[in-house]
């Protein structure tokens, strides 16, 4: 007999007290819930892993209950061992998660999505081309984390850090992101530690304040991408709603309340936002602020929504931009490019899979 939808549920969607109640309903001691969930999170999503003695029948009950929320649909591994996972959700939609090996041989960083598609419309982003479909649940985000943890473990690495920087704007799905982070960071569950987690935003000012109010202790990264409102509004429609000054003021508030330095993300686009004058303008904005600038090299994604074709900055322009920042005592680095030989930009693998499925 097939299992009905109400008979199954992913362990990733349970809070510890909910699972304790479920175990009690089955006639087991509720106290086993903590061990069940610890094993599930530590193993990267296995149910009752290992040979530990369980009360008779409990492991079988748990395996019958557990139905994953996300299953692997495609996997790409780059020459630098960056691994991109395309995960299929229960409703057939797909999301991307990425594992990036650290320069230390035993560590890796993960990147998870918070929404299916994205409504933000950033003009240089592949995700935005398919539009927004829906928010992810906390359990779906936890399962991405577990898939990345398992992927890292399989190659002898530990998932050391996690960023909410995949598909979607996390601060527009904040309630679910908060629950997911709490589970990932909890010592009794994911045990990742909030300092190892970064939430990235395109600059949703009320969302930054709400994240601060949630007191998760995570890092915040702000995708600025331009030092002035006009250039920013051309690249990011959200730039018309929240100005650069307003966003940096919210970042200041976040930094003051969390004690975590904010990272400014800046993707260098040839002859759009990469001039020495724009670097100086960015340095002026950051004067007196202890924010770190992460410079990103652009992965081309084809024709943009507005018909533009963006290109990565030349090495000379990128180097000059960095030098201008550093000359003004801004702490800035290039983020190491990842997975250049695969669909490295956010949304590319998903888009390619969707096009292939639609092809006659």
Output b/e per residue, 126-148; b: 16+ Cβ within 10 A.
Answer: bbbbeebbebbbbbbbbbbbbbb
The answer to whether 96 is a known catalytic residue is yes
Q: Which of 113-121, 179-187, 248-256, 301-309 is the region at the interface with ligand SF4 (rule: CB under 6 A)?
A: 113-121
- How far apart (Å, rounded) are the C-alpha atoms in residues 122 and 308? 12
Q: Which of 58-66, 68-76, 117-125, 188-196 is the region at the interface with ligand SF4 (rule: CB under 6 A)?
A: 117-125
Contact present, 32 and 58 (Cβ < 8 Å): yes
For 168-314, where are the alpha helices, taking DSSP H only?
A: 174-185, 205-214, 229-235, 244-258, 276-286
The answer to whether 133 is a known catalytic residue is no
111 binds ligand SF4 (CB under 6 A): no
DSSP 195: G
Q: How far is CA 265 from CA 15, 198, 218, 224, 307, in A?
A: 33, 12, 16, 6, 24
251 binds ligand SF4 (CB under 6 A): no
142 binds ligand SF4 (CB under 6 A): no
161 binds ligand SF4 (CB under 6 A): no
- How far apart (Å, rounded) are the C-alpha atoms in residues 118 and 134? 8
177 binds ligand SF4 (CB under 6 A): no
Interface residues for ligand SF4 in 180-219 (CB under 6 A)?
Answer: 202
Contacting residue, 82, 127, 273, 278, with ligand SF4 by CB under 6 A: 127
Q: Which is nearer to ligand SF4, 121 or 139 (CB)?
A: 121
Interface residues for ligand SF4 in 328-347 (CB under 6 A)?
Answer: 346
Interface residues for ligand SF4 in 74-103 (CB under 6 A)?
Answer: none
CA trace torsion 237, 240, 245, 248 (10° rounding):
-30
Residue from 118, 122, 125, 346 carrying the catalytic annotation = 346
Would you tell me which residues interact with ligand SF4 (CB under 6 A)? 118, 120-122, 125, 127-128, 167-169, 202, 346
Mind telling me the catalytic residues?
96, 346
């Amino acid at each position: 007999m097939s299992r009905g939808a109400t008979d199954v549920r992913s362990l990733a969607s349970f809070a510890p007290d909910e699972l304790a109640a479920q175990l009690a309903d089955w006639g087991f001691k509720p106290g086993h819930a903590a061990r069940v969930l610890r094993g599930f999170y530590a193993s990267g999503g296995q149910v009752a892993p290992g040979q530990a003695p369980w009360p008779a029948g409990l492991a079988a009950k748990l395996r019958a209950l557990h139905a994953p929320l996300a299953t692997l649909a495609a996997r790409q591994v780059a020459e630098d061992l960056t691994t991109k996972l395309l995960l299929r959700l229960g409703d057939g939609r797909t999301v991307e998660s990425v594992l990036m090996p650290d320069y230390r041989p035993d560590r890796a960083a993960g990147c998870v999505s918070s929404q299916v598609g994205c409504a933000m419309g950033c003009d240089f982003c592949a995700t935005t081309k398919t539009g927004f479909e829906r928010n992810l649940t906390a359990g779906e985000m936890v399962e991405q984390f577990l898939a990345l943890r398992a992927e890292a473990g399989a190659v002898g690495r530990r998932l050391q850090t996690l960023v909410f920087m995949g598909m979607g704007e996390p601060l527009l799905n904040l309630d679910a992101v908060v629950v997911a982070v709490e589970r990932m960071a909890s010592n009794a569950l994911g045990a990742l530690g909030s300092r190892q987690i970064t939430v990235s935003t395109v600059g949703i000012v009320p969302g930054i304040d709400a994240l601060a109010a949630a007191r998760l202790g995570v890092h915040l990264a702000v995708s600025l991408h331009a030092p002035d409102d006009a250039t920013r509004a051309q690249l990011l429609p959200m730039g018309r709603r929240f100005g650069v000054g307003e966003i940096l003021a919210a970042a200041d508030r976040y930094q003051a309340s969390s004690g975590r330095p904010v990272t400014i993300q800046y993707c260098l686009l040839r002859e759009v936002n990469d001039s020495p004058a724009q670097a100086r303008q960015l340095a002026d904005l950051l004067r007196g602020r202890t924010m770190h600038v992460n410079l990103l090299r652009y992965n081309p994604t084809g024709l943009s929504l507005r018909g533009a074709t963006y290109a990565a900055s030349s090495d000379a322009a990128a180097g000059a931009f960095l030098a201008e920042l550093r000359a003004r005592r801004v702490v800035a680095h290039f983020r190491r490019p990842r997975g250049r030989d695969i669909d490295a930009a956010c949304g590319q693998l998903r888009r390619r899979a969707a096009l292939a499925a639609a092809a006659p």
